[in-house]
Amino acid sequence: MSEIDALKLQLESLQSEALAAFSAADSLNDLQALRVSYLGKKGALTEVLKGVGKLPPEDRPVIGKFVNQTKQALAAALDATEAELAVKAKSARIESEKVDVSLPGRSGPKGALHPVQQGLDELTAIFVQMGFDVAEGPEIEDEFHNFDALNIPPEHPARAMHDTFFIKDMRNADGTEPMLLRTHTSPVQIRAMKRFLAEGGEPPLAVVAPGRVYRCDYDVTHSPMFHQVEVFKVDHDVSLSHLKGVLQYFLSAYFEKDVAIRLRPHYFPFTEPSAEVDIGCVFCAGKGCRICKGSGWIEVLGSGMIHPNVLKSVGIDAGEFSGFAFGLGVERMVMLKQGIPDLRLFFENDVRFLSRMGVAK
């Protein structure tokens, strides 16, 4: 056998041995080692090339070409195997990194706004959107703001119906009357109008006043502390018809559907005419159920045209301006909207109740 044939044979067997080794490799590391051992500087192919120098010069290009072919074949095989192994390795990694996506995510404790807060926020937002300013007032009030200025003089029967908490040993500014816990948010009407006028304002004036109020009454359906939102507007030619329009808009906005409303003539000292406002029962759609006592209507708030004596008490010309006002119980509105059956739940603050009711829609 000639030298060249022997070399060729050697290369062929090297190639077949290498290809076998490549396909046996089961990791990229093994394959890298094989690449070095066959194609590296001190690799098997290099060893073979060393024998080329012994060949006659005319044979050298022939065998050189043959060596190159072998080298390319091995390199191609290595690349192919490497790609294959890379795919396998990735699949294996993916498999090994698989998680149970149904396990709960990492999170801290979840907070929730109290349902009364949600009600206050929603109600206030509706009026702010309609251009009403937000106002607040003190909870410890004098009789002037809570009663007298609202056209409820001391001997008035309505005053007795308010179940007022009085403060021990605390008198009003001129020392003539005891201080009290406000029984409604209506005194904010007086304070807001006075402040507005003192700052040089001229009607129109439109105010929404949310806050805590107190009544000396504690049973299944009464809490000694609860929340009200007072709403009023004073302008030229404000009418009962405007009151009805605002009530219709706001009640539909709050309950997020078109609700039927009904005004019933009523009596409040601070409004004339006065009306109690019913909505079509949100539970039975007016058909009559236990909640609406079969009537199809649910009473939601008291309203009316501001009594001229109230405007006079703050120095607004009742001949030139008129206004409407209404006040609503926040707990009651939230109970109706969210189907909460018992007023006491709001003040027990059971965290299970709070968490459940805190879920935003």
Partner 1 sequence: MKIPFSWLKKHVALAANPDQIADDLVRLGHEVEGVETPRAAVKGVRVGLIESKTAHPDADKLSLLKVNIGEAEPLDIVCGAANMGEGDKVPVATIGTALPGGLKIKKGKIRGEVSCGMCCSEVELGLAEDSDGLLILPADAPVGAEVGEYLELEEAVFDLSITPNRGDCMNVRGIARDLAADAGLPLVEISMADFAVDDAVAVPNVSVSAGADCPVYLARSIQGVNVTDSPDWMQASLIMAGMRPVNGIVDVLNYIMLDLGQPMHAFDADRLTGDIVIRSAMQHEGFAALDGRELKLHAGDLVVSDDASVIALAGIMGSGATGVTGTTTNIVLESAFFRPARVSETRRIYAMVSEASMRFERGVDPAMVGIAMQRATAMIVELFGGKAGDIRQCGDADAINAGRTVDCSVSAIATRLGVDIPPSADDVLARMGFDVKRYGDQLDVTVPSFRHDVSIPEDLSEEYARIIGFDAIPAVLPPLAVTRPARQDRSVHDAVSGGFLQVVTYAFVSADEQRLFVADDGMDIVLENPISDAMSVMRRSPWPGLLNIARYNLNRQQPGVALVEQGRIYARADAGQHNETNTLAWLMVGQAQPDTWYAPARQADFFDLKGAVEAWLSLRGLTGRFIADDAIQGLQAGQSARILVGRTEVGRIGRVDSEIATGFDMDVPVFVAEINLDVLPSGKKAKFASLPEFPGVERDLVFLFDKHTSSDAILNAVKSSAGKFLTNVRVFDLYEGKGVPEGKVSLGIRFTLQDAKRTLTQEDADAASASIIAAMEKRFGASLRG
Interface positions, 44-63, toward partner 1 (CB under 8 A): none
Give the per-residue SS3 of 309-337. HHHHHHCCCCCCCEEEEEEEEHHHHHHHH
Nearer to partner 1, 200 or 265 (CB): 265
Q: Given candidates 87, 140, 198, 285, which one binds partner 1 under the rule CB under 8 A?
A: 140
Q: Does 40 participate in binding partner 1 (rule CB under 8 A)? A: no
| Per-residue contact flags (x/-) with partner 1 for residues 334 to 353, judged by CB under 8 A | ------------xxxxxxx-
Q: Nearest to residue 255, comparing CAs of 115, 122, 113, 78?
A: 122
Binding mask 286-305 for partner 1 (x = CB under 8 A): -------------------x
Contact present, 279 and 260 (Cβ < 8 Å): yes
Give yes or no for a contact between 338 and 357, defined as CB atoms under 8 angstroms apart: yes
Residue of 103, 199, 341, 361 that binds partner 1 (CB under 8 A): 103
Site for partner 1 in 225-284 (CB under 8 A): 225, 233, 235, 237-242, 244-249, 261-267, 272-276
Please state the closest distance from residue 284 (CB atom) to partner 1, in A: 19
Q: How far apart are CA 77 and CA 23, in angstroms?
A: 9
Give least dist CB 282 to partner 1, A. Answer: 19
Closest to 211 (Cα-Cα) out of 143, 301, 122, 137: 137
The distance of closest approach from Cβ of residue 21 to partner 1 in the complex, given in angstroms and rounded to an integer, is: 45
Site string for partner 1, 154-193 (x = CB under 8 A): xxxxx-xx---xxxxxxx-x-x--xx-x------------
Closer CB to partner 1, 254 or 346, in the complex: 346
Member of 4, 62, 89, 216 binding partner 1 (CB under 8 A):
216
Closest approach, Cβ 238 to partner 1, in A, equals 6
CB of 10 to partner 1, least distance (A): 57
Using CA atoms, how far apart are residues 127 and 233, in angstroms rounded to an integer? Answer: 11
DSSP tag of 68? H
Q: Is 138 in the site for partner 1 (CB under 8 A)?
A: yes
Name which of 21 and 345 has its Cβ closer to partner 1: 345
DSSP state, residue 56: -
Q: Are 32 and 89 in contact (CB under 8 A)?
A: no
* Residue with Cβ nearer partner 1 (264 or 287): 264
Q: Is 322 near partner 1 (CB under 8 A)? A: yes
CA distance 337 to 335: 6
* Among residues 53, 57, 109, 200, the one that binds partner 1 under rule CB under 8 A: 109
Residue type (1 letter), 104: P
CB of 161 to partner 1, least distance (A): 8
Let me know the angle formed at the C-alpha of 240 by 263 and 206, rounded to the nearest 5 degrees. 110
Q: Name residues whose C-beta falls within 8 Å of residue 223's C-beta, 6 or more positions apart in sequence.
A: 331, 343, 344, 346, 347
Backbone φ and ψ of 56, nearest 5°? -60, 150
